[in-house]
Structure 1
């Protein structure tokens, strides 16, 4: 069974005067991961490298950010794979301390940085999700919001025009029950704008 992380965890290693600041966190996919990496670059302008690894199905990737090829991103990715994670981003910000570590030393450093961050992380079962959009009269908005909360669905957006348009995300396990409850309770006044998406194969 794949797992994801309940909350982000940071950890810092000091190896031969180089600082390795690692973070592991759950993400939806590559777009969110790249935004987090960019924010790290802006937060650490003096860092020598911001390396990362993403394990998210077909969007998985690894980046050495200037370190010798295969010494940072790939070892970080292997740590995520070894722990059966899915939808998880690992980042390591390195401040160079003036002492070269060599290829083997770098692999160990980046591997340990991610592994030690994960040691403090709380893993939870990774539930596959799907997104829906629906329209409803204003009179139903409060009820629908409560139903989403009861069904453990995430409200992504609510737009208020002549009617209310709601975008939501729900786990595959809860989807059919929630859909049936919304259809029955709204007595046909809730309009689905798209068919429920089929989950991507894993």
Structure 2
């Protein structure tokens, strides 16, 4: 089950006198992730390391830490927690004791994982975008079937014969709803799939 955050999360830990502050937030796209990171980075901190994942898109930064010791472990924490559409920033204030590469990996990855583990999350439900045209006499019936399937009506366009509904339907419910509409209207209305998009639900 892939999840995203229901709201931003925060986790602070002191490791060998270095203070690590992990901040995580749900993001809709890569641009939103970078805005979150820029807005929350501390110019007075020693390092502002981060990672984000939005579907197949991901980036990470070690921000001056040894290569592979900060940004990648943060990304691995995101993936390990089965999160998507999430950005995580881990801010470090150096305390005078070097942690070594292995220690940094554990510190950055561990703080990011704890931050995500403690934050409230919601399941990401893959949705399918579809359209369906029906007669005015069947519109109320169709509204009820759409609601029962857990789908959302994105738009309704009316013409002389009826209405065309644009729907977002949980992908798992598409087949059953399509059959219900075909059977219930005796083939007069059919569900036409357009594209699929990830939504949280």
The TM-score, its normalising length taken from structure 1, stands at 0.64
- Which structure's residues are more often strand, by fraction? 2
Which residues in structure 2 correspond to 1:23-172 (within 5 Å)?
Answer: 23=24, 25=26, 32-41=28-37, 43-44=39-40, 46=42, 49=48, 51-54=50-53, 56=55, 59-64=56-61, 66-68=63-65, 69-83=67-81, 85=82, 88-97=84-93, 99=95, 103-121=101-119, 128-136=126-134, 143-155=141-153, 157-160=154-157, 162=159, 164-172=163-171
Number of residue equivalences: 187
Kindly state the Cα deviation for residue 17 of structure 1 after the two structures are TM-superposed: 5.9
1:11 corresponds to: 10
Kindly state the Cα deviation for residue 104 of structure 1 after the two structures are TM-superposed: 4.0
Structure 2: which 5+ residue stretches go unaligned? none
The TM-score, its normalising length taken from structure 2, stands at 0.65
Structure 1: which 5+ residue stretches go unaligned? none
Kindly state the Cα deviation for residue 182 of structure 1 after the two structures are TM-superposed: 2.5
CA deviation map 1:130-160 (0-9, x unaligned) = 33233445665554443222112244x2154
CA deviation map 1:81-112 (0-9, x unaligned) = 434x2x52442334453547654444233212
More displaced, 123-132 or 65-74? 123-132
Larger Rg: 2
Cα root mean square deviation, aligned:
4.0
Cα 1:78–1:98 shift into 2, 3 Å: closer
* SS of 1:20 mapped into structure 2: strand
